[in-house]
Structure 1
Amino acid sequence: MTETSRRATATGPADDRVLGDLLCFDLYSLSRMVTALYRPVLEPHGLTYPQYLVLVTLTRIGRSPIGDIARATRLDHGTLTPLLRRMSDRGLLTLDRSTTDARSVTVALTPAGEALKPVLHEAQCHLGESLGMTENQVRRLQSTLHQLTDHLDNA
């Protein structure tokens, strides 16, 4: 038995990229790493990555029904509703139930939520710096990701 195979047997595979031929694993790993890059910027403000997505969405589209936020963030209602309640309890946003349709709830940033805009910008800058890519490379990557997303949305 060679040293490499002995090491692989004793501690698991010697190659750290055992699943490297699986596109799904590459995407999953990258997603986890990118999300982790936001943590040092968001955690001091008590924010999670999904909350960051909600805040960015509201800064871009303004006061919106929950359904619009769910579509923009790709968070399902079962995840989004409790997340919005926690953010409302913290005073970051308001949840206004329609007077004509009790099922309809509109979400808006409060002044405390608006005050987090610099943090949102800092998080995005931190990601950009951490990726080590040129603006052109980032644009090409985003274009490819958007094509894949559009394709899967329409599949």
Structure 2
Amino acid sequence: MIEQEDAHNPGSPRLDDQLCFALYAAQRAMTAAYRPFLDELGITYPQYLVLLVLWERGEVTVKELGTALCLDYGTVSPLIKRLESAGLVRRERSTRDERSFSIGVTGRGEELRERAALVPGALLAATELNEGAVARLRGELRQLAERAQVAADRTRLT
């Protein structure tokens, strides 16, 4: 039995005290909050992220897309194939390196951009978060991601 003094201690084995679980639960809830808006666009949350990168950066390689989204090739490739089947992106073999593919948005994918531009504001309204709170959370989460990556790299090297 866990003693009372261990409750709400980051080092305790309680589920509710785990930072990783709080992040996991928040991520799942955010994805669920996005779902109705993205359903109207006919895309999933991971597909939305791919399109955001392409709208922001233009044509990119599969490797660049994976790096931007912190995903490996095996995860990015099926996303691209589904978006390609939906007519939202095109995949072309690179002229510089035939082993590499570049990904770009099609005209249909570009048309979706205007409707997708309404999603962030709709999500803010739905979650009742203001822009200041979002900026603070985003900054803290980026710092946490950097620290966790350093810790993961350090652990992998030992």
Which category describes the TM-score, using the shorter chain as reference length? 0.7 to 0.9
- Is the aligned partner of 1:143 residue 2:139? yes
- Deviating runs (4+, > 6 A) in structure 1? none
Structure having greater relative contact order (Cα 8 Å, sep ≥ 6):
1
CA RMSD of aligned residues (A): 1.5
Aligned residue in 1 for 2:69: 73
Query: 2:139, 2:66 → 1: CA distance?
Result: 22
Aligned residue in 2 for 1:152: 148
Corresponding pairs, count: 138
Aligned residue in 1 for 2:108: 112
Query: 1:125, 1:19 → 2: CA distance?
Result: 33
Q: Percent identity?
A: 39
Asked if 2 retains the 8 angstrom alpha-carbon contact of 1:87 and 1:93, the reply is: yes
Alignment of 1:1-155 (within 5 A): 19-155=15-151
Structure 2, gaps ≥5 residues long: 1-13, 152-158
For the pair shown, the structure with the greater C-alpha radius of gyration is: 1
**TM-score, normalised relative to structure 1:** 0.82
Aligned residue in 2 for 1:13: none
Query: 1:100, 1:117 → 2: CA distance?
Result: 29
**TM-score, normalised relative to structure 2:** 0.81
Tell me how far 1:98 sits from its aligned partner: 1.8
Structure 1, gaps ≥5 residues long: 1-17
